[in-house]
Amino acid sequence: MTSAPSPCAALGILVQCRPGFEADASAELTAAARAARFTGETDTQPNSGFVIFELTAPEAHDVIRRRLDLARLIFSRQAFQVLAVLDDLPDRDRLTPLREAIAATGERFSALLPETPDTNDGKEQSGFLRRFGPLLEDALAKDGLLRPDSPHLPRLHVFFEGPKRAWLGVSLASEGSAWPMGIPRLRMPKEAPSRSTLKLAEAFLTLLTVDEQKSTLRPGLTAVDLGAAPGGWSWQLASRGIRVTAIDNGPLAPSAIATGLIEHLRADGFTWKPKKAVDWLVCDMVEQPSRIAPLIADWFATGRCRRSIFNLKLPMKRRHDEVERCRALIDARLSAAGIKYILRIKHLYHDREEVTCYLTRR
């Protein structure tokens, strides 16, 4: 890639992912770019934490936005359209060349997102980013390039691949994560039975719109948690005032029972059925994804739940293919029932060898 594009020209698309998932992110990004009729090649380095689709010819980034929905990418934590890449940044003054390159894009921005890969090398730069980010933000504000009061403007990503190399790019808030690097700042509640509670908390923030969160995560609603033990997901629902039926032959942690909103039934999550429909079905069972996808779809098709969040545990290889297989299984069941639906899938920061899905009626 060249380092000085014409104003508003995007040289490619960069997506950040969990290290080790570059092949999956690359397969998905390549398929999406080709479907949007962009020509180029994917540059993938194992365990780098990011993937780049280099465009054969630069495109106006509003063209990319119209033709490619980056928010739909499953294995991307964060995504942006590359405007420039700077090499050989000086150790003592990285601010000046970045400031000049950002001004040369001809853009103004609503927010600045300083980022690095989520790797050990990237984490070594975290201290530098904490110091450098505010300096760059102040400089851009003085240059009239940063306008936090104009949310319609694109966000500026400054992605430090290493100390001497930085990628500059843009995204809209609707296209990517609200958090730099796609990593939410969630605190582990002391009362929660397990760290898995953070998966569900992140899923609510990532997969639901603000309006959906307000309308579907309120006291008085009902939920079923399949494979609940030790109770991290049940606790997360109960902490929001939702009454939960926790299904698992294993025990729940005392802190889950202490909420007073969780009823524990020792039963098989694949065979147990509620007497009446519930608002939420959640499921984090350690099972083959080809068993979980039809289970959730059947609950939905038969009207036993109104919406669901569930995890699909993926194989070590061909993860993207397995996700598409599960998507097809869900579609076949719901299409046969004549149900129009919305299915959102994301490999969350708190996920490991799994993806998290949100299913609701359209």
Taking only the tens of pLDDT, the chain with its 362 residues reads 444 444 457 899 999 999 999 999 999 999 999 999 999 999 999 999 999 999 998 888 888 888 999 999 999 999 999 999 999 999 899 999 999 999 999 999 999 999 999 999 999 999 999 999 999 999 999 999 999 999 999 999 999 999 999 999 999 988 889 899 999 999 999 999 999 999 999 999 999 999 999 999 999 999 999 999 999 999 999 999 999 999 999 999 999 999 999 999 999 999 999 999 999 999 999 999 999 999 999 999 999 999 999 999 999 889 999 999 999 999 999 999 999 999 999 999 999 999 999 999 99
SS3 283: strand
260 annotated binding-site participant: no
| 149 marked as part of a ligand binding site | no
- Structure letter (DSSP) for residue 252: P
Q: Is the Cα dihedral 78, 83, 89, 94 positive or negative?
A: negative
Q: What are the tens digits of pLDDT across the range 31-52?
A: 999 999 999 999 999 999 999 9
Q: Residue 352: helix, strand or coil by DSSP? A: coil
Which of helix, strand or coil describes residue 128?
helix
Closest C-alpha to 311, from 289, 294, 331: 289
| Angle value at C-alpha 183, between 177 and 187, nearest 5 degrees | 125
- Of the candidates 14, 155, 154, 30, the one whose C-alpha atom is nearest the C-alpha of residue 76 is 14
Q: Which residues contact 163 (CB under 8 A, 6 or more apart)?
A: 89, 91, 125, 128
Is 225 one of the annotated binding-site residues? Answer: no
pTM: 0.93
Cα distance between residue 191 and residue 135, in whole Å: 38
- Tell me the domains of the chain and their CATH numbers: 9-182 (3.30.2130.30), 197-361 (3.40.50.150)
CA distance 284 to 291: 12
| Positions marked active-site | 313
229 is known to lie in a ligand binding site: yes
- Residue 184 CA to its chain's centroid (Å): 10
| Residue 138 assigned ligand-binding role | no
| Residue 278 pLDDT | 98
